[in-house]
Structure 1
Amino acid sequence: MTAIRDIAVAGAGPTGLAVALMLARQGRRVVVFERFDTAQPVGAGFMLQPTGLAVLDALGLTPAIQGLGQPIDHIFGRAAPSGRVVLDVRYSDLKRPRQALGVHRSAIFHVLHQACLEAGVQFELAREATAASLGRLSFADGSTSPAFDLVVDATGARSPIAAVLAQAQGSARRDLAYGALWTTTPWPVDPHFDERALQQVYRGAAKMVGVLPVGVRPGSPDRLATFFWSLKAQDHDVWVRQGLEAWKAEVRALWPETAALLETIGHTDDLVLARYGHHTLARPVADRLAVVGDAAHSTSPQLGQGVNMGLLDAHALCWALQTHADLDTALSAYAQDRRWHLRLYQALSLGFTPFYQADGRLLPWIRDHVLGKAARLPFAPRLLAATVSGLLLDPRRTGCAKSLRPA
């Protein structure tokens, strides 16, 4: 049995930074390998759910994140043109109420990256990891890293490292037909938009537009929103050819109050297409390898769990390494700890997605006329709030909270 001392982390997204920080605070030597020339955030805003916030609590970073984010009390969706309320989730309905937090990716990156530097985490940039074997990373330029006691793959949903593991396990990725266009805009100065809510409008399940308040970027007082539009990935080229004004007219027809917000979008390049896929590694570990976050499990963002699941993975892996001196035992403990919570939410996300992103009329009719009514039954509000919060099969631990704080 040897000490688990030197650890490589591939990927400097929120999950990679979080796991690097936790491991460094345990006294281990951690090197993060990042494919970009400069460590930087990628993507627009998202929601930190109570589960993700619990991990940041353990790290002592919640106040810093809250200073940049926007509290979210409510998730609200309407069908167009009827205006029928088809989604109404309030965090106050939780057994132990706690708000979510709308956050721009630059905010969480800034806080986690700074904490990593303070904890002594090393960064090697322009190092695109393509494979991992026996504690070594291979890179796109043909080079190989020194041997580490453990490699942590946090390179995201299209990880080439996780793809090899998935193939060996027979758990192939399934590409989803629908993705979404995302962009960051100034927060709209319009009383129609609730600064404490994620608001969405749907036409059937084929059209969806949403506005999420995400606070501010570090160093800027300007409040921001993440704006998104549901779109089939195969239709993106047609959308570009049709031009921005035709699309804006379609959005205004669906949700007229977005007119001022749309004026801040000047080019089709301002909107980035996110392509979604569904996959779950049967076992997110191998010899001297742990896979975390979207590399281990990805799906559509309908339940808003992506970053939060990654933070929980980071927490569970570090807890396992802290409580088990033997690496194989620790990796098995990590995989088992996350197994049922992940499987539940992967199944829920895959099941819910067609009601919000799909062709046809039947599923949106069921959503609007059956599920919408069921959501008003006495037990439903708390169940919905717990589901969206990530608290079904509550995965949070408190035993290691002290050990994750700065020494």
Structure 2
Amino acid sequence: MTAVRKVAIAGSGVAGLAAAIQLAKAGVEVDVFEAKPELSALGSGISLQGNALRVFDALGAWDDIRAAGYPFEGLHLRAPGPGAPIVAQLPDVKTGGPDYPAAMGMPRPELARILLDHAQRAGAHVHFGRKITGVEARGEDAVELYVDDASAGEYDLVIGADGLNSTVRELIGIEAKPEPTGMGIWRTFVSRPAEVERSELYYGGPVFIAGYTPTGEDSMYAFLVEKAEDRFGTSDEDATRIMLEESRAYDGPWNSIRADLEAGAHANYTWFTKHIVDEPWNRGRVVIIGDAAHSCPPTIAQGAAQGLEDALVLAELLTTRDDVDQELWDEFHERRVPRAKSVVEASVQLGQWQLDGVRDADVPGLMFGIAKQMSVPA
């Protein structure tokens, strides 16, 4: 017996598809509504910590994801300037436990494709080009869902996993929204030099952080973190030029990255944001998870992992209880809100120390503390 028989999910990101997989595997009828016309093939790479990999295993998708990504151990810090010398080699905490790599990089489109495939094989119905536009309670046990302004029927639960600018969050009257942190990031997807075998970060120079993460045998993504500027609307040509110019202080593998940029690799720009919705994340039979409920800078690479944990915990409760009652919601919030809040606050603090020019901040201590916390399953 499950607490729900029919569930609608807004959004086909990692949190939404993870929830769809687990619920469909348990025999729940699942409809995923994605406003975009198809699964996005765009995007650079993503860094995934061990606790995210542990969730993929629970979903049954770990073997496919491991084959498509690049697992690695440890983190190197390099100095800007000639030769880009390695100044520190830091071990990673295995947040997923001893059975998983400490971290892994992979192309975002590949991750999306694998999760979609597993959701559909589990029996979830994924509808592209369909936008949720309304939710109305029907008593205490049902929600009427409106898609493209027309009724799509009643559901036992609606899950809003529709990202930073969540429509579902707005529909249920939650006013919290992502706010800029003051930092912006340039990203590009390029070839991987053989010497890059793990994430490497450069502190100092013209930007706050210059770094890269391997995502496959032949690929990696590279990034530059700067003070937020109005870069939106920048042409592709100017975006490439800016990223090239800002990276010239960095040697080593950055020479290969610049060669790929000059050969036509695309550069894109976004701002870092932060928000955390105070509990409850639900309003009756509608609940938000993932980026709809919390967002943070990728300074400790826990954003996707937190959305995945939201989905796994919610699905666990829905498939092991008989009712969607207050006890279920209390346990969900107890297991998720403090953990997500810790990640958001730590991620923002790391960036704020750089914005404020704090030189004696205990960055390793903060990162290690969060990693130890994440090593305990949600």
| TM-score, normalised relative to structure 2 | 0.86
Report the equivalent of 1:401.
none
Among 174, 178, 187, the alignment partner of 2:183 is: 178
CA distance in structure 1 between the partners assigned to 2:93 and 2:181 by the alignment:
33
Match of 1:387 among 370, 373, 377: 370
Residue of structure 2 equivalent to 1:340: 338
| Match in the other structure for 2:66 | 66
Q: Supply the distance in 2 between the matched residues of 1:256 and 1:229 (Cα, whole angstroms).
A: 15
Question: 1:256–1:63: structure 2 CA closer, same or farther, 3 Å change rule?
Answer: closer
The answer (yes or no) to whether the contact 2:97–2:375 under 8 Å persists in 1 is: no
- After superposition, residues 160-199 of structure 1 pair within 5 angstroms as 160-163=167-170, 165=172, 167=174, 171-189=176-194, 191=195, 194-195=196-197, 197-199=198-200
343 and 88 in structure 1: CA distance in 2 versus 1, 3 angstrom threshold = farther
1:340-394 Cα distance to aligned partner (Å, 9 max, x none):
21122122112112234x2x5x32x234xxx37xx5xxxx6xx844634xx4065
In 1: Cα distance, 2:78 partner to 2:265 partner: 28
Q: In structure 2, do the counterparts of structure 1 residues 260 and 205 end up closer, same or farther at CA, with 3 Å as the change threshold? A: closer
Q: Which position in structure 1 is the counterpart of 2:202? A: 201
**What secondary structure does 1:178 align onto?**
strand
Q: Which of residues 296, 304, 309 is equivalent to 1:307?
A: 304
Q: How many angstroms does 1:305 deviate by?
A: 0.4
Contact persistence 1:166–1:281 (CA under 8 A): no
Please, which moves more after superposition, 258-267 or 79-88? 79-88
**Residues 102, 80 of structure 1: alpha-carbon distance in 2 compared, 3 angstrom cutoff:** same
Q: What displacement does 1:207 show?
A: 3.2
* Mapping for residues 251-262 of structure 1, pairs under 5 Å: 251-255=247-251, 257-262=253-258
**Match of residue 229, structure 1, among 202, 210, 224:** 224
Deviation, structure 1 residue 38: 1.5
Residue in structure 2 matched with residue 293 of structure 1 by the alignment:
290
Q: State the alpha-carbon separation in 2 of the partners of residues 160 and 85 from structure 1.
A: 45
The answer to whether the 8 Å contact 2:276/2:293 transfers is yes
- Following the alignment from structure 1 to structure 2, what is the Cα–Cα distance between the partners of residues 237 and 355? 25
1:316-327 alignment, distance < 5 Å? 316-327=313-324
Match of 1:353 among 326, 335, 351: 351
Q: Deviations over 1:317-343 (max 9, x none)?
A: 011112322213323321222122112
User: Which residue is equivalent to 1:265?
Assistant: 261
1:317–1:93 Cα change, 3 Å: closer
Aligned to 1:156: 163
Cα distance in 2 for residues equivalent to 1:18 and 1:47: 17
Q: Which runs of 5+ in 2 are unaligned?
A: 138-142
State the Cα RMSD in Å: 3.1
1:152 Cα deviation from its structure 2 partner: 0.6
SS of 2:325's equivalent?
Answer: helix
Structure 2 letter corresponding to 1:203: G
Q: Which amino acid in structure 2 is aligned with residue 366 of structure 1? A: D
Q: Does 1:89 align with 2:90?
A: yes
Distance 1:237 1:50 in 2: 33
Alignment partners' CA distance in 1, 2:19 and 2:307: 9
Deviates most, 299-308 or 226-235: 226-235
**Secondary structure of residue in 2 paired with 1:37:** coil
Partners of 1:86 and 1:327 lie apart in 2 by: 53
The secondary structure found in structure 2 opposite 1:115 is helix
Identity across matched positions, percent: 25
Do residues 328 (structure 1) and 335 (structure 2) align?
no
Structure 1 unaligned segments of length 5 or more: list them: 216-221, 398-407
The CA deviation string for residues 7-33 of structure 1, in whole angstroms up to 9 with x for no partner, is 001111111111000000111000010
Q: How many residues align?
A: 367
CA shift in 2, pair 1:107/1:165, >3 Å: same
Change (3 A) 1:239 1:74: farther
- Distance change (3 Å), C-alpha of 1:94 and 1:22: closer
Q: Check conservation: 1:152, 1:289, Cα contact below 8 A.
A: yes
Q: Which TM-score applies when normalising by structure 1?
A: 0.80
After the TM superposition, which of the residue ranges 269-278 and 113-122 deviates more from structure 2? 269-278
Partners in 2 of 1:57 and 1:64 — Cα distance? 10
Specify which structure has the higher proportion of strand: 2
Any idea what SS the aligned residue of 2:300 has? coil
Instruction: Give the secondary structure class of the aligned counterpart of 2:71.
Output: strand
Deviation at 1:224, TM superposition (A): 0.9
Residue 140 of structure 2 corresponds to which residue in structure 1? none
Amino acid in the other structure paired with 1:24: A
Deviation at 1:132, TM superposition (A): 3.3
What letter corresponds to residue 336 of structure 2 in structure 1? R
Q: Residue 92 of structure 1: CA displacement?
A: 6.2
The answer to whether the 8 Å contact 1:279/1:297 transfers is yes
